[in-house]
Amino acid sequence: MASTNDLKNGMVLKLDSGQLWSVVEFQHVKPGKGPAFVRTKLKHVLSGKVVDKTFNAGTKVETANVDKRGMQFSYKDGENFVFMDMETYDQMFIAPEVVGDAARYLLEGFEAVVAVYEENPLYVELPASVELVIEHTEPGVQGDRSTGGSKPAKLETGYEIAVPLFITTGEKIKVDTRSGEYLGRVNS
């Protein structure tokens, strides 16, 4: 248990009959009249839904002890993704629903943070950007600007993104894992 006065960004609360909510933002408000309160923006850990919630100052809220572990993606076993704990070398099988969009950027050996609550994986968090090789893209034709100067390219993970016309097959690029956007070339 913690008080609403102790809230911090990233803290996970257990509200509404055991649902897990992560604190995105919080603000202590002391109005001229009436009691102080805490205005928060909470994100549902599993669905990603964001809601605004107000608590009276000093209210007790139940916190969830979410363990964030550094793990390495090992391989895909059928539908499940297999991650290895970097400290204990234990393997964890994670369902595709939990991995979510992170699956687009996973290669064997990639490191990620896996949030675990009561030995159940909640979500997989990748770094803000990853470096991947272009597996295939059509040659860009100078003067072809009907697509706004970009063309589709298939990454080594099988995911397709839009890249500038000058990018060629075999080049290593940096990709934003939050938006899926091309960020730039990587100099080898």
The tens digit of pLDDT for each residue in 110-124 reads 888 888 888 788 888
Asked if the domains 67-125 and 129-185 are classified in one and the same CATH topology, the answer is yes
Q: Which two tokens stand for residue 153?
A: 């390219």
Fold of 129-185: OB fold (Dihydrolipoamide Acetyltransferase, E2P) (2.40.50)
- For the segment 65-88, the average pLDDT, to the nearest whole number, is 86
On the question of pLDDT at 154 being above 80, the answer is yes
- For the segment 33-61, the average pLDDT, to the nearest whole number, is 85
Question: Which residues are registered as beta bridge partners of 23?
Answer: 42
Other Cβ atoms closer than 10 A to 158: 9
On the question of pLDDT at 185 being above 60, the answer is yes
Closest CA to 135 of 111, 160, 113, 112: 160
Identify the CATH homologous superfamily for domain 67-125.
Answer: Nucleic acid-binding proteins (2.40.50.140)
On the question of pLDDT at 46 being above 80, the answer is no
pLDDT at 67: 81
| Exposure string for 32-48, b = 16+ CB within 10 A, e = fewer | eeeeebbebbbbebeee
On the question of pLDDT at 163 being above 70, the answer is yes
Closest CA to 1 of 14, 20, 18, 17: 14
pLDDT at 143: 61
Chain centroid, CA 186 distance in Å: 22
**Domain spans in the chain, listed from the N-terminal domain onward:** 2-63, 67-125, 129-185
Chain centroid, CA 116 distance in Å: 14
CATH code of the region 2-63: 2.30.30.30
Least confident segment among 2-6, 87-91, 96-100, 139-143: 139-143
Q: Over the stretch 55-73, which tens digit does the pLDDT of each residue have?
A: 888 888 888 887 888 899 8
- For the segment 33-47, the average pLDDT, to the nearest whole number, is 85
Q: In sequence order, which ranges of 48-158 are alpha helices (DSSP H)?
A: 96-99
How sure is the predictor about 148, in pLDDT bands with cuts at 50, 70 and 90?
low
pLDDT at 109: 86
Q: pTM of whole model > 0.75?
A: no
